[in-house]
Amino acid sequence: MISLSDFKHEHPKASIAVSIKELGLTYKTSIEKKPTLKARIKTLGRGKKHTRIVRAVDGISLDIHYGSVLGVIGSNGAGKSTLMRVISGIIPPTEGRVDVYGSVSTLLALGVGFNPSMTGRENVYLGGLAAGMTEAEIDENFEAIADFSELGESIDAPMRTYSSGMYARLAFSVAAIVEPDILIIDEALSTGDAKFKEKSLNRVKELRSADRALILVSHALATIEDVCNEVIWLNKGKLMARGNPAEVIAEYQKFMNVRKSASSDEDV
C-alpha cells in the first residue's frame, strides 16, 4: 500500500510508469442483491452457489510510460473503471500482474465524498489522510483545492446536499491539486458545467509533464483526442486497439456504428 506522499521521484522521460502483464479480473457476485446468512442457509442444501461471474478485464498487457497521456475509451461496462482500480491497487487481480513505478492517485480515489453526512471539507481531509497524505500536506493544499472547485461556502455543507456536478468538482479539484506521479481521472471530466469542464481540461493540460503519467477515462471522445497522445480501446474486458488517438477513436466509432446499424437492421 503506497501512499501519495511516499514517493516524489524524478522519472526519466519515457521510463515505464505502469506495466500490466496478462491481467485478468473476474468479479464473483451473488445473484441475491446482498450476501446474507439467511440466503446462504437457504442454498445450503442445494449445494449450488448462485454466483454471477463477470469477466471485467480479460488478458490485458500494457505498458504506460512517463510523459504520456493515455486515453481509455470503451462502452459502458467495458471494464475501464475496473482496470483503473487494479492499477491503483484497490482490487487485486485475478490473474497476471501489475508493476507500478510511482505513486498513484485515482480521481474519486481520494475517496472524496465517502461519507455524505460529513462536509466537503471533512471529506477532503479524510480522503487525503486515507490516501496517505499528512495533515500538513492537506492544510497546505486545502485553499487551492477549495478555490479550484469554486464551491464557495458549500465546502462546509454536508456532501449529501451537493449536486452531482458539485461532487465531481470537488473530486476533480482534489486530484488535480495534489500532484501524484501517476494520475488517473475516471469520468470526472465530463460532469461539470461547460465552464468547469474547460477549466479542468486546462488543468489537465498543465499537468502534462515529462515526469508524470496521466490516464484519462472518458466518453468525451473529442476531449480525449485533444489531450491524449495515446488511446486504448477496451471492449468486454479485452484490449481492442491501442495507438494514435485519432485512429483508435475512428476505429471505435466505426465499431459502435456497425453494431448499432446491425441491431437496427434486426428490428426491421
Partner 1 sequence: MSEPLVTYLPFKAGLPPMGTYLRSLLKRRAFISEFARSELRNQNYGSVFGQLWLVLNPLLLSAVYFLLIYVIGGSSDSTRFAHLTASLFLFYLVANSLTGGVKAITSGQRLILNTSFPRIMLPLSAVVIAFLKFLPTLVVAFVIHAVVGLSYSWQMLWAIPILTIALLLATGLAILFSCINVYFRDISSILPYLTRSLLYLSPILYEASSVSDSIKQFQIVNPIFYLLDSWSRVMVHAQAPELFSLVHAFSFAFMIFVIGTYFFLSRERDFAVRL
List residues near ligand ATP by CB under 6 A.
27, 29, 54, 56, 74, 76-82, 187
Using CB under 8 A as the binding rule, whether residue 93 contacts partner 1 is answered as yes
> Using the rule CB under 8 A, is 88 a contact of partner 1?
yes
Does 75 bind Mg ion (CB under 5 A)? Our answer is no
Q: Which does 77 bind (CB under 5 to 8 A by kind): Mg ion, partner 1, ligand ATP, none?
A: ligand ATP
Considering the complex, what minimum distance in angstroms separates the CB of residue 154 from partner 1? 17
Cβ atoms of 234 and 79 closer than 8 Å: yes
> Which cell numbers hold the place of 61?
498487457
Binds partner 1 by CB under 8 A, chosen from 57, 60, 78, 131: 131
Q: Could you tell me which stretch among 81-89, 104-112, 142-150, 198-206 binds Mg ion (CB under 5 A)?
A: 81-89
Q: Select 107 or 231, whichever has its Cβ closest to partner 1.
A: 107
Cell of 68: 504520456
Amino acid occupying residue 161: T
Chosen residue from 130, 210, 246, 256 binding partner 1 by CB under 8 A: 130
135, amino acid identity: E
Cβ contact 189:218 at 8 Å: yes
Dihedral-angle region of residue 173 (phi above 0 means left; psi in -120 to 50 means alpha; beta otherwise): alpha
Q: Contact between 38 and partner 1 (CB under 8 A)?
A: yes
CA distances from residue 187 to 106, 197, 218, 238 in whole angstroms, order as listed: 11, 12, 5, 19
Q: Which residues are at the interface with partner 1 (CB under 8 A)? A: 1-3, 7, 15-16, 19, 27-29, 34-38, 40, 85-86, 88-103, 106, 108-111, 113-115, 117-118, 122, 125-127, 129-132, 134-135
